[in-house]
Amino acid sequence: MPPTVDRRPKRGYHRPRRIEERAGTRGNPPARRSPISEQRPFLSVVIPAYNEERRLPGNLRRILAYLDRQPYTAEVIVVDDGSTDATVESVRAAAAGDPRVRIIENPHFGKGYTVRTGMLAAQGDIALFTDADLSTPIEEIERLLPYFEQGYDVVIGSREGGGRNQRIGEPFYRHLMGRVFNMIVQLVAVRGVQDTQCGFKAMRREVAHDLFARLRLHDGRSKPVRGSMVTAFDVELLFLALKRGYRIKEVPVEWHYSNESKVNPLKDSWRNLKDVLLVRWNDVLGRYDDERYPVAEAENPISPPNE
């Protein structure tokens, strides 16, 4: 079943009493969904960070202030991607002992592995990952959450389908590059999704644990990298979600272009293209087949919650 795009996103959310269980529709049956628990947080917010000592502390406080106003419980997991600055120390200071904040310190394996680590550690009924610069404001989660009540498993923010004022401050050449890349993605790997690369994606906890444990391209088995590393792990994630029979909803969100973006248009475009081709090649070789390639066990070096 192809993903759908909601052209009229709704705002506002109230925590549901129960999420219904639904069976998978294709491929192997997805992980069983359990009713919402009162013993764990409702929402996990995962923030990958690489050399973000300047931007992240203020954005973390903004996220925590937003969560303070919500009717549900939440946790925030900051995953440091081997930063060479004082990102970890600045996050601890900004959290100010807030027990909702956890910090994971990783070797520098790039964004894909960083997000994977945080999503596998998430304990909330719904797990969201979002960029450290909050290019998509945290308030946009209100557009995504209602669709879980409608039975969707993966609800992703999209920079397409929301009108002229959706992509704020983005240079034309960046938008053009994104559209060309999406054409390749739809042709090779993930049909029907207009924006696979928006860094604002939410999914049920069981689904997150199932999918991220199956990623092959950025699973930490390679050597640490140098400098920032933006990858197309999102393409592999969504490819697997469709292959596993999960229901995906694409929802337009507000997105702000940052002049401090770590994306290198040429180097990262080439790396992303290789990732897309590798996803298809892995599938042809059966590397997403559980019998031939067992799902990897996750080992997350989680630091204790802030005292």
Domains and their CATH numbers in the chain = 39-284 (3.90.550.10)
Q: Look at residue 32 in the predicted model and tell me its pLDDT.
A: 42
Better pLDDT: 205 or 221: 205
Burial environment of residue 1 by CB neighbours within 10 A (0 to 12, 13 to 18, 19 or more): exposed
Give the helix, strand, coil percentages of the chain, each rounded to 5: 35, 15, 50
Tokens of 173: 């050449």
- Spell out the residues 6+ positions from residue 162 whose beta carbon is closer than 8 angstroms to its own: 9, 252, 253, 254
Q: List pLDDT tens digits, range 82-135.
A: 999 999 999 999 999 899 999 999 999 999 999 999 999 999 999 999 999 999
Sequence-ordered list of residues with C-beta below 8 angstroms from that of 112, at least 6 positions apart, any chain? 215, 217, 218, 229, 231, 233
Residue 57's pLDDT is what?
A: 97
pLDDT, one tens digit per residue, over 186-197 is 888 888 898 898
Whole-prediction pTM value?
A: 0.79
Q: Is 301 exposed, middle or buried (0-12, 13-18, 19+ CB in 10 A)?
A: exposed
Checking if the pLDDT of 24 tops 50, the result is: no
- Least confident range of 5-19, 42-56, 221-235, 254-268: 5-19
Over the chain, what is the mean pLDDT?
Answer: 81
List C-alpha distances in Å: 86 to 36, 41, 50, 81, 93: 37, 28, 10, 12, 11
- Hey, CA dihedral for 275, 277, 278, 283, is it positive or negative? positive
DSSP H/E element including 83: none
91 with 125: CB under 8 angstroms? no
CA 304 to chain CA centroid, nearest Å: 23
Confidence at residue 34, expressed as pLDDT on a 0 to 100 scale:
40
Q: Which residues pair with 78 in a beta bridge?
A: 47, 103
